[in-house]
A and B are shown apart, each in its own frame.
Chain A
Amino acid sequence: MAAGSTPSQPAALPAAAQAAAEPLATVRWRPERRYKRDEMIMGYLFVLIPFAIFITFSFGAMIFDFWISFYHWAILDSPRFVGSANYNYLWHIDTVWLTALGNTAQYCLVVVPLQTVIAFTLALIVNQNIRGRSFFRTTFYFPSVTSSVAISLIFLFIFNNFGLLNFLISELPGHPSGPNWLGDPAYALKSIMGLNIWTTTGTLMVVFLAALQDVPREVLEAAAIDGATGVKAVTRIVVPLIRPALFFVVANGLIGCMQIFDQAFILSQGSGGPNYSTMTAVLYIYIQAFTNSYYGVAAAASAMLFAFIFVATLVVRRLIGGEEGR
């Protein structure tokens, strides 16, 4: 997946949003109901170990992060309270964080729409009476399944100034010479965008495909009779019907993009260059924490990133709507 981490991300927000509504719907709170004692104990026992791990490494981690963001800490010494100095540093003193945010925003604003549109188009096409549908589905999905490190290294080779891509470009009529994909600050981020789109589009296509298959035939036939064909049919009729899938694709795309790390790390050889053009938010956090050992600053940046992701997902929910699209 785009984030390159365990698949807790794919279903993250939309699932969370939907499930948030569920418990309250299925279990009505009856204050006077008494819990059966052994059921209670069992309940707690069941969740005991999972939550021990969970609290320590997930939830507790969040809290710790937030707490340490108000301290200066470099691991070898004890944390020293500095109040909002870290946040101040990020906003006013260090221009690299703002660059990182800008890069990440630019990245998301290009990648998410592009990969959504491409994935949707592909899904539409594959959903037609196409032979070999299963083959295409399998092929397109494959890049998402492979290690982001391995893929990034292959693309590092392809994007080399004297590599495959520039060779192919030079074979085009007119023999243009391709740019220095990784060494030119104007192109480095675009290279990563291309890589990510290549990787993630397949997954998103699969989601769209599954959603499209639920759209009843009659709806479209009715639309065709009414004269709505082609693009109009698609946008006016099909899209609203697959709103849950659209929300899933856009929300996950956004969350994944805002946390892009692996590809930026490998393609820039861990530097975020050239000239900070590939410095993304998470790469910045990583460098601050693990190269510079400014844990407080890194934690503050993480907290801010979390806030941005949260807000962005709310915005997407607003624009596209949640699960109840029909």
Chain B
Amino acid sequence: MAYSIGVKRARGPWAVSKEALFYIVLIGYSIITAIPFLWGILTSFKSLPESAKSPPTGIPLHWTLSAWTGQYGVLTSGNFPRWFVNSLFVAAVVCIGNLFFDSLAGYAFARLRFPGRNFLFFLVLGTMMVPAAMTLLPVYVILTKMGWINTYQGLTVPFMVSAFGIFLMRQFFMSLPVELEEAARVDGLGRFGIYWRIALPLAKPALATLGILQFQGNWDSFLMPSFIANTNNMLTLPVGLQHYSFQFTTFWPEVMAGSMIVIIPILIMYIFAQRFFIEGIASSGVKG
């Protein structure tokens, strides 16, 4: 619900200008937010010489697709299609893995009693405090020893369980009314059956939030995949983009086009599902 701080109820010229000020600030900030994306997209349709011009041109003088389909074009010469597929596959597998494993563990923590339950949960919480930087090395070494470097297993399995996900699902399951499950027990459903048939379907909102966050998080993930995958065919999109950009450092139209390929799918997903995105973040912050 909205209310007005500092704006007296009376509507006078002073009140109006304050509101105008607010709009100016908001619109101004929206412009700041939007400009880099616009700049990126516009540049991707310029030719290389035009992109290097100083002073820079805004709308391209000559629209061209050379950055997309030309000699070093991202769609034709870079391995972007392959990287796109890789990212899609990896993000999807990690997402599904998370949905399954995090809800399993979350449910167990919420509803099943077994010795050591609290201890294990503290363990999970503890790792949430560990900076990602600390797990770089060991994960890399472990994957090396297992021979999983540069494989799809290496890109997916370590990320199939997330402490955040376990925590989220546990919170949710704890908020479910126990009566439903008790009734199911009376009806003769086993533990797994209760989980699978009763709790999980009820968890759809939480699962949707978790799924979207995991998919987006993994799609954008750069640090870990950058040292797990190294032959060209195995790179995910952000890593491929980085390699491509380091190789063609100042082919700006091409690099911008590559950036767009990474951004646009999530943008589309975001537009359709932004309610979930935003509310997921908001609730995890506010309600804890």
Residues of A within 8 A of B (CB): 1, 3-16, 18-20, 23-24, 26-27, 35-36, 38-40, 42-44, 46-47, 49-51, 53-54, 56-62, 64-65, 68, 75, 121-122, 124-130, 133, 136-143, 145-151, 153-158, 162-164, 167, 170, 198, 202-203, 206-207, 209-211, 213-214, 217, 220-221, 224, 229-231, 233-234, 238, 244-245, 248-249, 252, 255, 258-259, 261-262, 266, 269-270, 281-282, 285-286, 289-290, 295, 298-299, 302-303, 305-306, 309-310, 313, 323
* CB neighbours of A281 from chain B (8 A): 133
Interface string of B143-154 (1 = CB under 8 A from A): 010000000000
Is B241 touching A213 in the complex (CB atoms < 8 A)? no
Is A39 touching B33 in the complex (CB atoms < 8 A)? no
* CB neighbours of B25 from chain A (8 A): 121-122, 125
Residues of B within 8 A of A (CB): 1-8, 19, 22-23, 25-26, 29-30, 32-34, 36-37, 39-40, 43, 52, 54-56, 101-102, 104-105, 107-109, 112-115, 117-118, 120-142, 144, 157-168, 170-171, 174, 191-192, 195, 213-214, 216-224, 227, 237-239, 241-242, 245-246, 249, 252, 255-256, 258-260, 262-263, 266-267, 270, 274, 277-279, 281-286, 288
Is B105 touching A50 in the complex (CB atoms < 8 A)? yes
Is A43 touching B114 in the complex (CB atoms < 8 A)? yes
In the complex, which residue of chain B has the Cβ closest to the Cβ of A58? B127
* CB neighbours of B26 from chain A (8 A): 122, 125-126, 130, 136
Once bound together, how far apart are the Cα atoms of A310 and B36, in whole Å? 35
Is B270 touching A142 in the complex (CB atoms < 8 A)? yes
Instruction: With A10-B281, A19-B167, A50-B166 as known contacts, state yes or no: A289 contacts B136, CB within 8 Å.
Output: yes
Is A62 touching B138 in the complex (CB atoms < 8 A)? yes
Once bound together, how far apart are the Cα atoms of A290 and B170, in whole Å? 37
Is A54 touching B161 in the complex (CB atoms < 8 A)? yes
- Which 9 A-B pairs have CB atoms at the shortest separation, nearest pair first? A43-B114, A61-B138, A210-B282, A46-B108, A6-B217, A150-B259, A43-B112, A207-B285, A57-B158
Is A10 touching B164 in the complex (CB atoms < 8 A)? yes
Is B256 touching A5 in the complex (CB atoms < 8 A)? no
Is B166 touching A61 in the complex (CB atoms < 8 A)? no
* CB neighbours of B174 from chain A (8 A): 26
